[in-house]
Each structure stands twice: as C-alpha cells, then as structure tokens.
Structure 1
Amino acid sequence: MNATLAAVALSLLSAVGYATAAVAQERLASRSGPGSGLLRLLGHSAWWWAVGLNAAAALLHVAALKYGSLTLVQPLGALTLVAAVPLGARLAGRRVSRIEWRGTVLTLLGLAALLLAAGGTPPHETLSLPEALGVAAVALVLVAALVRRAGRPGARPGLRFATSSGIVSGVASALTQTVTVSVTDHTQGPAPGWRTAVVALLVAGFAVGGLLLSQTAYRGGLGAPLALVTLANPVAASVIGLALLGERLQGGAVGVLLAAVGAGAAARGVILLTRATGAAQGPPRPADVPAPASAPEPPRALRVSVRPELPTTQPRTVTPRPQSAPASSVPPAVPRSAAPGPDRAPASAPLLR
C-alpha cells in the first residue's frame, strides 16, 4: 500500500510538471507560427524551460514506475490535462468554467475507479530484448502511418501528431520501466548490461521523439492535442503491460467492469475538458485576422472619366456633307422644309389610296 501511495504521489507531481511544460510549449508554438522549425526553437529560452520541465516530469515518472505498475501509473497521466486547465485559465486571466469543473470531476472519478482495479504491487517483470525491439518497431510503423497521412486535405495534422506523441510516450514509459527494474531489482539475477544499454538508447530516442511530436501538435492549440496525448499514452502502455509484462487487474470480472467504467468516465471527462479548452480559446483576435484585400487600382491609361452631358435647349442642326457619288446612284438630299409631314406626301411619290 505504501508503494501505491508513493506511485500516486509521484505521478501527481509528474503530471503537474508535464502540464506546465505543455502550456509553455503551446504558447511557444503559437508565437513561432506554423513555418518555424526546430532550429528556430533552439534559440528561444522558453523552449529550454519546456525541455527542463519535461525532463523533471520524466524523472518523477520514472520514480513512479519503480513503485507502481504501468496499469496504475499511466492512467494517472490524465491528471496532466486536469492540471493544465486551471493553469491555462490563470494565464488567460479567466475563471474555470462549469464544463471544465464537470470534466475535472469525471476524470478524477474515473481515475479513482482505475486505481481500485489496477494492480498495486511493484513491478518485477521486464521486456526481453526481442520484445523491446518488436514493440519499438510496431510503434514506429504506427507513427509513420499517422505522420504520412497528416499532410492530406482534411487530415487534421495536429491530432495525428498528438496521437503519435502519445503512442511514442507510452512505449517510452514501458521501456523505461524495463530499464528501471533491470537496474534496481535483482531478484531474478543481474540483467545483461548490453540489453539494458540498448533499451536505454530506445528510451532516449522515443522520449525525444515524443517531445518533438507534441511540440508540432500544439501548433493548432492545446486542448484537443493534449487530450489525445493524454489518452493515447496510457492506452499504449497498458496494452504492453497487460500483454507482455504479466500485469493483471484486481477483483476478477468485477475489477474489469470497474476499470471499464472508470476508463469511460475518464474519457468523458477528458472530452469535456477538450471542448471547454477549445471554447475558451474563442475566435481569433482582430489583430490575427488578415484584412480583406482591396480591389487593384486600374492602370492610369485605362482610367475613363465619365462626365454627365448637360441637356441643351436648342436642337442641333445637322448639315449634310456633300456627296461625291453620281446623281444617278444616290438620290439628292431632301431639304428639311420639303420633308414629308403627317398631312402631305412626298412630291415624287404617288398618293396611296
């Protein structure tokens, strides 16, 4: 029981660290713009603060994995989103909304149910080297498929990068537990040093990859990407723990039902927190909305000045031009005085009866 309390306390501190780092990453991504690369981020002090916070949270997470199983520690990662909600509200200068409170309560109740069903004994099983390499290969294939489809129209790349980050972080946690147990627990004899070194290299690569993927995902905002990271991480780690590390849920069928109900409540709470976070961001500010482009001014040579013509009081007199054609082909012009009127016919035309 003391090990379980230690794992929960360390996971809580780790979640606060991850939440603070996520808020810092999102603010940096919103200021940097979609076209900024990693080299530009390296020049910002805020980036290194976020890296330091992630490193501190990762160390606390490693310590929690020493005292608790993956099925116990990883679901507590949902506390990252719970901690990010009041922190984001404080930085935005607003109060926590009613929907955010509902999401927080549902998430906490779901996590409490998961804690009751999860195994509370310290972990002793580790991944073998073929298992670790196989898990890493499967994760890389999934991430490659998600990232490759991120550029398609309507693919919502932020959510795909966030899912990839959650998968990578969950695999890194499973590999981290293998390294931690191999180094500290010698009940089954000393572990081969080369196997621990290879798994440690995998942990480092997956940890850096998860950080970069989450940084890319936060360009579209914090709510939905952080929620997907929070959900994909424990799912990936719990699958590894239940399938390869021999972890089991307590209470038999009742424990499985309790865990399912808790997972559903926690997922519902995370969805509410996501919607509340997206609504709190609101529409873009007027300064961020580009001004409508004005119509191009026509060239000077094409400008036409239209002036209204004033009516004249006197009728215009049209003087016929002299005709150069022979008289036989063109009839002579009729003078205005000899023009046919309504009561007389032309002189040269017969009367029509």
Structure 2
Amino acid sequence: MTVLAAGLALLGSLFFALGAALQQFEAARTSPAVLGRLVRRPRWLLGGLSIAAGTALHVVALKYGPLTLVQPMGVASLLFALPFAAALQRRRPGTRELAAAAVIAIGLVGLVLVVPVHTGEPHLSTAEAVVLLTGASAAALALYVTARHASRAVRACLLATGAGVLYGATATLTRVLVDGAWEPWFLLAVPMPALLALALLQRAYAVGHFGVAFAALQVADPLTAVAFGALLLGEPLPTGPASTLTALVAAALTAAGTAALARTTPMSPSHEATTP
C-alpha cells in the first residue's frame, strides 16, 4: 500500500505539472490574462482537467499512505513542470534551471517532513473562519498591489505567492470540511478563495517567468496551510533543536533556490520581444 500511495502521488504530480505548464503557456499568450478569455482556450481547459486529475490522484494516495510520504511526492511537480514548459516553448530546460528547482524541492521536502502529524479532529468556528478568509484576502491583496510596481520576475513571484496564500486558506477549509466540525456556510465559502487564487495565478503566469511563479506557488501554498493549521486548528509545529534546525535549513534552501530560479529561468517567448 505504501508503494501504491507513492506511485499515485508521483503520477498526480506529473498531471499537476503538465496542467500548470499548459495553463501558463496560454496565459502568457492571452492579453489580458483573465479567466473569461482563458476558459475559451481548449489548451487552458485541458490544463485544468490535468490539474484536477492530479489533485484527485493525490487525494486517493492519502487514503493508502501517510501524509509524511504523500506530501513530499507533490514537490516533484516542480521538477516535472519545468521540462513540460520548456517543451511547449520549444527549448531545452537549462542545467542551472533544473538545479535550482531541485534545491527548492529538497527544501520543501525538509519542511514537510519536520511538521508533526496531527491526529485530532480539526474544528473551525465561524469567527475563526472569518479571520482565515479575511487574513488570506488581505495578504493576497497586499502582494497584488506590491507586485504592480515590481520587476517582472519579482512580480511573478509576488502574484503566485498571493495565489498560494489563498490556496492555503482553501486547503485549511477543505481539511475541516473533510475531517472535522464545520458550519454549513463553509460549503459556500470554499470556492471563493480558490477562484481568486486561480485568477491571481493566471496573472502571475502571464508575466512570463513560469519557473519563478510555479516555485512561489509550491512554497506559499503548503506553508500557509501549515500556518493556518497551527494558528486556527491547533495543529502542532516542529519542536526541539533538531526539528527547528532542519526547518531553518530547509527554509534557507527553498529561498535560495527560488532566488536562483528567478535568475536562470528565461521569459516566455511571447514576452521576449518586448523585454529590453
């Protein structure tokens, strides 16, 4: 069952990476990159179906294997996504580009592995849910405003980080809906941050720096979910000198890899002609 869970999670990462590459390819070619325009593009919709398939496989994997095994497998989507995106752009992924992605993946795996598994039933009150949604929306809005005055690579990173924060809030609400006690209006609340995150992510993809945007998303989403889980659901955080040191080293690797990826990943072809 453990091998099956690992295989399903890895296959899910493959589908997720392919979907992200397809959606970024279309977002970079669409001006402006708004959902109303993108949903009319078959390749973008195919990317959405691929992401949905990857998510479903990841959920099934969690039924057969522990979180500490399945979650790190999701990091592989970053390593898969860069070759997919390069193939769509008819180029080969650079060695330094893949090396930076590998550093980010190692850092993310380290962060995931030091988070203790929470076995209790999660509970979220109405007030806590409002705090969750308000806090995530405010953070995403601040990142969006800041991104408007940033360089292209930084803009892609900030917009994708905002999307990751909103996806992290969505994941927190979903965990409560699946395993815990919740209020009926949570069912209506879940799609709101998810749709906002999707719209924000397409803007990040449209900037042209796919590697930076996808890496920022992969970092912000799980870290936001862990933070909300600790603050609102009472889930444990790493304790002890060894776990704390591992978390710090992993965070440093993730940050360094993201910065390196911003310097090594080329722009999408549709933007190269207008970039001085």
Partner in structure 2 of residue 348 of structure 1: none
> Where do 1:173-188 residues align within 5 Å?
173-182=171-180
1:14 Cα deviation after fit: 3.7
Partner in structure 2 of residue 137 of structure 1: 134
Does 1:85 pair with 2:82? yes
Give the letter for the 1:233 counterpart.
Answer: D
Partner in structure 2 of residue 228 of structure 1: 216
Q: 1:78 to 1:112 in 2, by over 3 A?
A: closer
Q: Over aligned residue pairs, what C-alpha RMSD do you find?
A: 3.4
Partner in structure 1 of residue 196 of structure 2: 209
1:276 Cα deviation after fit: 2.5
Q: Is the 8 A contact 2:212 2:258 kept in 1?
A: no
Partner in structure 1 of residue 56 of structure 2: 59
Q: Is the 8 A contact 1:107 1:267 kept in 2?
A: yes
Q: Is the 8 A contact 2:33 2:203 kept in 1?
A: no
2: distance between equivalents of 1:3 and 1:134? 37
> Where do 1:316-335 residues align within 5 Å?
none
1: distance between equivalents of 2:106 and 2:36? 42
Give the letter for the 1:241 counterpart.
Answer: G
Partner in structure 2 of residue 23 of structure 1: 21
> Where do 1:287-302 residues align within 5 Å?
288=273
Provide, for residues 75-118 of structure 1, a one-character-per-residue CA deviation record: whole Å limited to 9, x for no partner.
Answer: 76543322211222333344443213422432343244334422
Which residue, out of 162, 166, 169, partners 1:168?
166
1:45 Cα deviation after fit: 1.3
2: distance between equivalents of 1:153 and 1:199? 35
Does 1:262 pair with 2:260? no
Does 1:147 pair with 2:135? no
Partner in structure 2 of residue 298 of structure 1: none
1: distance between equivalents of 2:60 and 2:119? 11
Q: Is the 8 A contact 2:117 2:236 kept in 1?
A: no
Give the letter for the 1:22 counterpart.
Answer: A
1:68 Cα deviation after fit: 5.5
1:170 Cα deviation after fit: 0.9
Partner in structure 2 of residue 346 of structure 1: none
Structure 1 or 2, whichever has the larger Rg, is 1
1: distance between equivalents of 2:150 and 2:248? 35
1:47 Cα deviation after fit: 2.5
Q: Secondary structure at the match of 1:278?
A: coil
Give the letter for the 1:19 counterpart.
Answer: A
Structure 1: gaps of 5 or more residues: 183-190, 291-353
Q: 1:136 to 1:283 in 2, by over 3 A?
A: closer
Does 1:240 pair with 2:238? no
Which residue, out of 45, 66, 69, partners 2:42?
45
Q: 1:243 to 1:38 in 2, by over 3 A?
A: closer
Q: 1:145 to 1:101 in 2, by over 3 A?
A: closer
Partner in structure 1 of residue 123 of structure 2: 126
Provide, for residues 34-76 of structure 1, a one-character-per-residue CA deviation record: whole Å limited to 9, x for no partner.
Answer: x35433223221232122223233334545667666x987676
Identity level (%): 31
Q: Secondary structure at the match of 2:116?
A: coil
1: distance between equivalents of 2:72 and 2:133? 21
Give the letter for the 1:198 counterpart.
Answer: W
2: distance between equivalents of 1:242 and 1:171? 12
1:136 Cα deviation after fit: 0.7
Q: 1:38 to 1:24 in 2, by over 3 A?
A: same
Does 1:200 pair with 2:191? no
Q: 1:105 to 1:58 in 2, by over 3 A?
A: closer
Larger helix percent: 2
Q: 1:18 to 1:140 in 2, by over 3 A?
A: same
1:165 Cα deviation after fit: 0.6
Give the letter for the 2:124 counterpart.
Answer: L
Which residue, out of 191, 213, 218, partners 2:205?
218
1: distance between equivalents of 2:196 and 2:127? 21
2: distance between equivalents of 1:11 and 1:264? 26
1:176 Cα deviation after fit: 1.0
1: distance between equivalents of 2:22 and 2:86? 13
User: How does the TM-score come out when normalised to structure 2?
Assistant: 0.80
Q: Is the 8 A contact 2:8 2:58 kept in 1?
A: yes
Give the letter for the 2:35 counterpart.
Answer: L
1:122 Cα deviation after fit: 5.0
